[in-house]
Amino acid sequence: MSFTTDLKEELITLKNNSKEEDLFELEGIIRLSSEVFLLPLKLEITLNSKSLVRLVLSLLKKYFDIEYELISKIVNRFNKKESYTISITKGAKEIIDTFHLIDDKIKNENDNPEHYKQFIRGAFLAKGSVNDPAGKNSHLEIASSESGDIIFIQGLLVDYDLNARISKRNNYLVLYLKSISEIGSFLYLIGATSIMEYYENTIIQKEIIATAKRSVNLDIANQTKTNNTAHEQLRYIQIVEENYKLADLDEHIIETMNLRKLYPEYSLSELLDVVHDNSDPYLTKSRLNHRFRKIKTLAQEILEIKSNK
């Protein structure tokens, strides 16, 4: 099963504490997955999982006197994916009026703002999806053809400090989150506590791997830089040795040239450690670097003289 399917299965098992919370969750599901027919009056709720159908029917039967027909059809022949439509005749008017499905009124000033967490959860159950955090991209979305519902949900998420954005996809508006931390906050908001452990552990693991990769890349870059520098210094040393008598060179320059030839792969810091251990414990990195610059200057002077001849 997909990460989204696992997440929704967990959410479906959650139990609310009150009738109001049940109805808010049910409204979130119905608003994003239903269609009202007026002649004759009928409400059709189309869902994509048997578990969600069972949840919706249990809540409808608990709070409304309904008669319905359950219709299933295959929507994808390749994976035999089915959709399920609950077609309600008796009780349709009460449901439509309760959730203001025709006048499109959602928010009531007397409502407890905390109940809207259940509304958001219902909306996600109906039309939401989220990428597995183990994948490359983080993305959570809720899609609907009803712009009012999507804009309303966006406002709710903003109230919870979640920067949800909206884009258009064909005939749908898509509300989405891309920030890993905000997706985690969204999952916590709708009560997906157990799957949050997997989500957080996966994110932490990805961050550890990313940090390790950055460290390796940095080490490689530093080693490449060290190798390039050492190769250049060895070339200058060869030019100096071929054109100067050792008696004409400062003893510290000779010592530095021999040091580089003996340790061609060492960084400046590593060369300095060798010097400290064997000859001069007080030599500074700046002073050692100065000696290499002196070798470079000598070599460049030789090259300039030869080029002018």
- Which CATH number goes with the domain that contains 124? 3.10.28.10
**Angle, alpha carbons 146-149-153 (nearest 5°):** 145
Pairing assessment for the beta strands 172-177 and 34-37 based on DSSP bridges: unpaired
- Say if residue 281 is preceded by a cis peptide, omega within 30 of 0: no
Per the prediction, the chain carries an average pLDDT of 87
| Same domain as 171, residue 233 | no
- For the stretch 195-230, pLDDT in tens is 777 777 777 777 777 777 787 777 778 778 888 888
Would 185 be classed as within a structural domain?
Answer: yes
Per-residue tokens: 202: 């996966």
| Same domain as 36, residue 172 | yes
Would 80 be classed as within a structural domain?
Answer: yes
- For the stretch 257-292, pLDDT in tens is 898 898 988 888 888 888 888 888 888 989 988 989
Closest CA to 130 of 77, 185, 83, 210: 185
Closest CA to 205 of 261, 133, 273, 153: 133
Would 261 be classed as within a structural domain?
Answer: yes
**Backbone angles phi and psi of 168, in degrees to 5:** -105, 135
| Same domain as 220, residue 146 | no
- For the stretch 23-37, pLDDT in tens is 999 999 999 999 999
Let me know: does 162 contact 126? Beta carbons within 8 Å: no
| Same domain as 214, residue 185 | no
Closest CA to 126 of 114, 143, 150: 143
Give the mean model confidence (pLDDT) for residues 59-83. 83
Q: pTM to 2 decimals?
A: 0.68
| Same domain as 157, residue 51 | yes
**Segments forming the whole domain that contains residue 122:** 3-191
The alpha-carbon radius of gyration of the chain (Å, integer) is 35
Would 200 be classed as within a structural domain?
Answer: no
Half-sphere exposure of 182 (CA within 13 A, CB side): 17
Would 202 be classed as within a structural domain?
Answer: no
Would 227 be classed as within a structural domain?
Answer: yes
Residue-level pLDDT at 249: 85
The CB density around residue 36, as the number of other CB atoms within 10 Å, is 14
Chosen domain end from 191, 224, 244: 191
- For the stretch 144-187, pLDDT in tens is 988 889 999 999 999 999 999 999 988 889 999 998 888 889 99
| Same domain as 219, residue 187 | no
Residue with tokens 């030839």: 261
Would 262 be classed as within a structural domain?
Answer: yes
DSSP H helical segments within 82-179, as ranges? 92-98, 116-127, 147-159
Q: What beta strand segments (E) does the chain contain?
A: 34-37, 42-47, 68-76, 81-88, 128-130, 140-144, 165-169, 172-177
At residue 112 the predicted structure's pLDDT band, cuts being 50, 70 and 90, is confident
Would 240 be classed as within a structural domain?
Answer: yes
Give me the residues paired with residue 85 across strands: 46, 71
Let me know: does 75 contact 83? Beta carbons within 8 Å: yes
